[in-house]
Structure 1
Amino acid sequence: MNRATVKCLWALSLAACIAPPALAQPEARPVYRCPGNPVLYTDALSAREARDKGCRTLEGAPITVVQAIKPRPSTGTPVPAAARPADQRVDPTEQRARDTDARRILEAELQREDERLAQMQKEFNDGEPERLGDERNYQKYLDRVAEMRAAIQRKEGDIAAIKRELSKLPQ
């Protein structure tokens, strides 16, 4: 083979290696970030549709979508009731022990929450807590009183929820 033939073959083989990847890439389409819950990232909209929906064009790095892998329960972890076969039941003594533990935990939590509520109500002083030194501005004091009132209401709701949970457990 002469030198010209070798150069020609070399150029053709180089072109064959470069051309397929260039042809395999899809045409670059703009990616849009559209507002909402959840936020939508898409390249399937036209420019007009994206503008009408209030979407913004993303510039820079490409977006990579990673599919999450569902973890398998490891040994020692309890299998959720939905995954257990219907005919598989928990031993009654084990269930009683679970219920007893749950009741003990909920009662301890209820006692802590009751104590915290009593402390909050004492600080609240029937809607007239002591003014702090940094509360020269009366509005700041009123804001703190409103926050205290809201916190007390949340705590009362928490206590009611614990009592509901306790009432669901067998005696």
Structure 2
Amino acid sequence: MQILDISHRRITLALLAALALPATAAPDKIWRCGNEYTNQPGDAKARGCKLVEGGNLTVIEGLKPQGGSRAAASSPRPGAAPTPAARSEGERVESAEQRARDADARAILEAELRKTEARQAELRQEYQGGEPEKRPEELRNPALHQQRSAALKEQLARVDADVAALRRELARMTPPSDKK
């Protein structure tokens, strides 16, 4: 007799839970007002909200930017990149260590620039001003030559952009200090 009471209670609880679920599971209508989703649009027509139809909707908000206006306003010289303020005394770096880091960063950028300029020279030599030398398989199929020419042109444009970006980055850095 006790077993029947326990299973009867379980069934009753399960039915009550099932009946309560649809009432609390989701709102009847979801509205999209620009980039905002809501179930209470208010004056939906005035705000330009549209009813979203379909299944469940999940919106995950992104991170908000952290104090960009203050950092930009405190830039020490025109055109200089803003430096983030140190959050605690432990995060500050001594000036000698910072100069060493800057020198390392400059060396890395200069090495990358040399490598990219070498690749640029190779591509220019192979591209030959838009008329690369034809390979044996391209003699029989001119479309292959056109495809390779177009690919070389795209690669050269990318490498040119990379060289320009590296030069801009080096120009933004402070010049290396001369030790006497």
**TM-score range for the pair, normalised by the shorter chain length:** 0.5 to 0.7
For residues 61 and 166 of structure 2, the distance between their equivalents in structure 1, rounded to whole angstroms, comes to 38
* Secondary structure of residue in 2 paired with 1:164: helix
Q: Which runs of 4+ in 1 moved over 3 A?
A: 26-32, 40-45, 53-59, 62-70, 134-137
Q: Among 97, 100, 119, which residue is 1:116 paired with?
A: 119
Shift of 1:120: 1.0
Where does 1:14-53 land on structure 2 (aligned, <5 Å)?
14=12, 18=16, 21-22=20-21, 24-25=23-24, 29=28
Q: Letter of the aligned partner of 1:120 in structure 2?
A: L
Shift of 1:105: 0.4
Bigger relative contact order, structure 1 or 2, given CA contacts below 8 A and separation 6+?
1
Shift of 1:81: 2.2
CA contact (8 A) 2:86 2:92 kept: no
Shift of 1:152: 1.0
Q: Does 1:161 align with 2:157?
A: no
Where does 1:1-171 land on structure 2 (aligned, <5 Å)?
14=12, 18=16, 21-22=20-21, 24-25=23-24, 29=28, 57-58=53-54, 62-65=56-59, 81-82=84-85, 84=87, 90-132=93-135, 133=137, 136-169=140-173, 170-171=175-176
Structure 2: gaps of 5 or more residues: 65-82
For residues 150 and 105 of structure 1, the distance between their equivalents in structure 2, rounded to whole angstroms, comes to 26
For residues 44 and 138 of structure 1, the distance between their equivalents in structure 2, rounded to whole angstroms, comes to 63
For residues 134 and 55 of structure 1, the distance between their equivalents in structure 2, rounded to whole angstroms, comes to 57
CA contact (8 A) 1:131 1:141 kept: yes
Q: Which structure shows the bigger proportion of residues in helix conformation?
A: 2
Q: Letter of the aligned partner of 2:16 in structure 1?
A: I
- CA gap of 1:94–1:22, structure 2 versus 1, over 3 A, is closer
For residues 123 and 157 of structure 1, the distance between their equivalents in structure 2, rounded to whole angstroms, comes to 18
TM-score (normalizing by structure 2): 0.54
Q: Number of residue pairs matched?
A: 139
CA contact (8 A) 2:116 2:163 kept: yes
CA contact (8 A) 1:127 1:145 kept: yes
- CA gap of 1:157–1:26, structure 2 versus 1, over 3 A, is closer
- CA gap of 1:123–1:162, structure 2 versus 1, over 3 A, is same
Shift of 1:26: 5.2
Structure 1: gaps of 5 or more residues: 1-6, 71-79
Percent of aligned pairs with the same residue?
34
Q: Letter of the aligned partner of 1:126 in structure 2?
A: G
Cα shift readout 1:44-89 (whole Å, capped 9, x = no counterpart) = 79xxx9xxx9998535xx444566799xxxxxxxxx925636xx85
Q: Letter of the aligned partner of 2:166 in structure 1?
A: I
For residues 144 and 42 of structure 1, the distance between their equivalents in structure 2, rounded to whole angstroms, comes to 52
For residues 132 and 25 of structure 2, the distance between their equivalents in structure 1, rounded to whole angstroms, comes to 68
